Amino acid sequence: MNPLPGAGGGAGAGAPAGAQYDPNDPNIKRLNAMMESCFGKAAISGVMGFGMGGLFGMFMASMSYDTPFHTPGAPGAAPQPITSLPLRQQLKVGFKDMGSRSYSTAKNFGLVGLMFAGIECGIEGYRAKNDMFNGTAAGCLTGGILARSGGPTAVAGGCAAFAAFSAAIDAWLRQPKDED
């Protein structure tokens, strides 16, 4: 059985304590091949975005209960304050709302991650360069595609906002590291 890469393996695992991993290991080769393909990068980014969005949505939903609010009732019915419900019903309403918000945010983050990583990888493969333009262009295309239902002004705004954010993150990630 292969130990996890970089885990050290413990006593008797067959890997020396200082060895990171064997680059000829078939599992490592498979992971590297997947991360070198645009489909693999996009899929992993989508899955990671879905997970991160789920956690973020759960956190944001839990923060919305710090003030009294009204429970969503039947359309046209008078809303009922949640504080007037029994504790069990309050928890049921809260967890149901938290789950739906978390799932909604997870889908959105997953879609953004999938689109951005796929577009950036496609641009990088087409240009055969790895520079800041790839992320900026991918941000512009992703923002524009996501805002397409809002009309041309929304597309331009989405493009500009995503491109600026992508350029800022890319510039920050590409700056030299300080050695202390």
Contacts of 128 (CB under 8 A, 6+ apart): none
Residue that is written with structure tokens 């789920």 in the block? 54
Per DSSP, what are the bridge partners of residue 71?
80
Structural contact between residues 106 and 50, judged by C-beta atoms closer than 8 angstroms: yes
Is the separation of the CB atoms in 112 and 126 below 8 Å? no
The pLDDT of residue 8 is above 60: no
pLDDT at 87 over 80: yes
| Tens-place pLDDT, residues 135-148 | 999 999 999 999 99
> Which secondary structure element, helix H or strand E, spans residue 143, and what is its range?
helix 132-146
Beta bridge partners of 81: 70
Predicted confidence (pLDDT) per residue in 96-109, tens digit = 888 888 999 999 99
pLDDT in tens, 14-57: 555 556 778 788 888 888 888 888 899 999 999 999 999 999 99
DSSP conformation class of 9: -
Q: Is the pLDDT of residue 62 over 90?
A: no
**Tens digits of residue pLDDT in 113-164:** 999 999 999 999 999 988 899 999 999 999 999 999 999 999 999 999 999 9
> pTM (2 decimals)?
0.73
